[in-house]
Chain A
Amino acid sequence: MQHLTETHLNEYLDNAMEDSMRAQAEAHLAECVDCQARLAALQAVFQALAGLPEEAPRRDLTPVELQTRQQHFSSKAGLLALVFQTGLSMIVLWFVFPLLASRIAGIIPTWNGQVALPAINLPALFEMQTNLFFPSLPHLPKLSFPAMPTSFNFPIWVILLIAAVMLFAIGNFSLIFHSTSHPRK
């Protein structure tokens, strides 16, 4: 047999040679010093690579995107707590704020619970616009508009309730999202 080619030597070491070919290669290697030396050089590479140790990562390598999703969806207890807390505080606020509202209303006597709305005269406004853009059409039909309300009743305890719920929700959500949107070091 002639000298083993690079392909033969590599396939021999990879156990990728057919049995008959492998037997011929082994017979040749047994008597050819040159091929033994070339095989030994390749075996040294195999050994060097096999001896290379694994390195431990220096930190958690979970991507930030997956951390957020993973923690957000895995913290079922956190979500449950949020729903429970919101419900509970709504009930408490429902009873507490009317009492507080009467006291606050006593402190602010000038406000009667009404919010004044801006007075807009729609027919006059419409007439002004048509005169401005269509001056050649003086006989436009007169449109009638329903009377606009001038104020809206807004009990103070409703405002306080809305404010409290908003503050509570913002605080809780910001806590949850803040704690899950940063990578752990």
Chain B
Amino acid sequence: MDERDLAQRAARGDREAFGGLVKEHQAGVYNVAYRMLGETHEAEDATQETFLRAYRAISSLDSTRPAGPWLKKIAVNVCLNRLKHRGTLGLGDEIAVPAPDPGPEAQVLQQEQNRQIRAALMRLPPHYRAAIELRHFQELSYAEMAETLHRPLSDIKSDLFRARKMLAEILR
């Protein structure tokens, strides 16, 4: 059964089909949560919360379109809610992104670079993080981002541009 069939059945309330969508998209949704929250256990919890919310809002799933982007947008909002309760780290704070495993030198260097990027993302305020996630990883347009985050287009652009500037400074 392809994803479109799954989505159509899930939108009609078929729990088994929704389970199929969960299996299909859990890695993608988990990565959204991991990039935004930077912590494995919380990302796992946020992934599960995303699927529960999606299940409750299954009537809003447009079965003619891929379910992945719909689920990832829900994930971004779930993570934003969690970040609101958590607060933001300052530029000087330590980030608990896991250190790379030892291995061949090039691999270690790559892992260290990835760790630095994830740590840099964790230094961004929640809305900046969401803007980076939606634009760079989900490849939404400015208008789609504004719709997803329920915010004015001008605010979205401002957040995105400031987020990039902050990242450039942190990663320099």
Contacts and interface: CB of A to CB of B under 8 A. Distances in A.
A74 B117 CA distance: 42
13 contacts: A14-B135, A44-B168, A48-B117, A49-B136, A52-B118, A58-B40, A60-B26, A61-B48, A65-B52, A66-B18, A66-B19, A67-B19, A73-B15
Contacts of B168: 41-42, 44-45
A149 interface: no
A167 B142 CA distance: 62
A53 B117 CA distance: 11
Nearest to B51: A63
A52 B35 CA distance: 9
A45 B52 contact: no
B99 interface: no
What is the size category of the interface that chain B forms with chain A? Answer: 35 or more
Contacts of B19: 62, 66-67, 70, 74
A65 B56 CA distance: 12
Nearest to A59: B44
- Chain A interface mostly: helix
Interface string A62-97: 111111011001100000000000000000000000
Given A58-B40, A73-B15, A66 B22 contact: yes
B132 interface: yes
Contacts of A67: 19
A6 interface: yes
B30 A61 contact: yes
B157 A55 contact: no
B27 interface: yes
B172 A41 contact: yes
A46 interface: yes
B88 interface: no
A6 B163 CA distance: 12
Nearest to A7: B161
B128 interface: no
Interface string B151-172: 0000001001100110110011
Given A63-B52, A66-B52, A16 B142 contact: yes
A106 interface: no
B147 interface: no
Most B C-beta atoms less than 10 A away, residue of A51, A57, A59, A73: A57
Interface in B44-61: 44, 47-49, 51-52, 55
B5 interface: no
Given A57-B30, A74-B19, A62 B137 contact: no
